[in-house]
Structure 1
Amino acid sequence: MKNGKRPTRKQKQAIQCARLNPANWLVTKSLPDKLFIVHRESGRERIIPA
């Protein structure tokens, strides 16, 4: 699994729109229409719209 990076302000807003807490998620891949995120503690991966 790739190491996640801290989300930018725009990415944090996208994470919040998906009803998630941005403090708990790291960004592994950022595409124009999708955001690949991974949970800081559990390692669970999700794909959300960007």
Structure 2
Amino acid sequence: MKNGKRPTRRQLSQIKAADLNVESWLVAKSLPTQLHLVHRYTGTAKIIAI
């Protein structure tokens, strides 16, 4: 798994819209229709639709 990067402002709003804590999630991959997130502490992965 790649290391996650800090989300941009637009990505932060999308993470908030998915009812996730923005301080705990990093962006592993950004696709036009999906965001692949990695939890900052546990390393679990999650995919949210944009």
Q: Above 0.5 in TM-score?
A: yes
The TM-score with structure 2 as length reference comes to 0.95
Alignment-mate amino acid for residue 8 of structure 2: T
Flag structure 2 segments of 5+ consecutive residues without an equivalent: none
How many residues are paired up?
50
Q: Alpha-carbon deviation of 1:49? A: 1.2
Aligned positions of 1:1-50 closer than 5 A: 1-50=1-50
| Cα distance in 1, alignment partners of residues 24 and 30 from structure 2 | 17
Flag structure 1 segments of 5+ consecutive residues without an equivalent: none
For 1:22, what is the secondary structure of its paired residue? coil
Structure richer in helix, relative to its length: 1
**1:9-30 CA distance string (max 9 Å, x none):** 0000110011001110000000
After the TM superposition, list the runs of 4 or more consecutive aligned residues in structure 1 that deviate by more than 2 angstroms: none
